[in-house]
Amino acid sequence: MIYTIGDSTCWAPLKSIPRVKPNLIFSSKPDEFGISAHTFATQPDYVTKLVTSRFNKCSSDDYLIYFLGGVDCRITIATLLNENNNYTSIIDFIVENMFITISKIKLDIKICMTDIIPILKNYNNKFKLNQSVEESLKYIKYFNSKKKEFSQRYNYMYVDVYDKYADEEGYLREEISDKIIHVTKPIHYKEFFKKHMNYK
């Protein structure tokens, strides 16, 4: 079985795929529409209890894919910017501590990470955005690069589908989106699952 956990991007593209069970974690904060990576980085006890309660009966043959960072790149990072912290130092802190938290959660399951999907170039602001689309894309690309780096360090599988859903400029391809922030066609996730996770 393949499980996903995180913000709304863990649910929207995968909810209709057999033998994939999305677990959207809602946030108490308005406009976030799902849990942030910053919460994983700064509230380890809360996150550990939440994740353990949902997946403590999974087996070593199962996969758990974390979909984290989208909320941060839309909202959280901009709120933390100041003269002492630029976006790279903020993302460095979030990613490093997010991985520390996840690594300490004791589960008998294969841990995986995945990309934050691209943002639409013609973003419609239905979901809050705390900076320009161009700045958001910059945050997303750097955040993904750090997640890949730490996934290698922790020996976690990385579900790398960003380029499959991005246009030539790196933005989300509008024809395979819900015109907000989600992918609507999970074909590239399924291709990855079949190739790397024995999905049939």
pLDDT of 89 > 70? The answer is yes
Would the pTM of this model clear 0.85, i.e. be above it? Answer: yes
- For residues 31 and 4, the answer to whether their CB atoms sit within 8 Å is no
pLDDT band at residue 33 using 50, 70 and 90 as cut-offs:
low
Give me the pLDDT at residue 130, please.
84
Residue 7, pLDDT score: 87
- Statement: residue 113 has pLDDT above 80: yes
Domains of the chain and any CATH numbers: 2-196 (3.40.50.1110)
Give the tokens for residue 55: 């997946």
Q: How confident is the model at residue 30 (pLDDT cuts 50, 70, 90)?
A: low
The pLDDT value given to residue 31:
54
| pLDDT tens digits along 120-150 | 888 766 677 788 889 999 999 999 999 999 9
Q: List, in order, residues 6 or more apart from 134 with CB less than 8 Å away.
A: none
Is residue 74 classed exposed, middle or buried when 0-12, 13-18 and 19+ CB atoms within 10 A define those classes?
A: buried
- What percent of the chain stands above pLDDT 70? 94
Residues 79-108, mean pLDDT to the nearest whole number? 96
pLDDT value of residue 148? 97
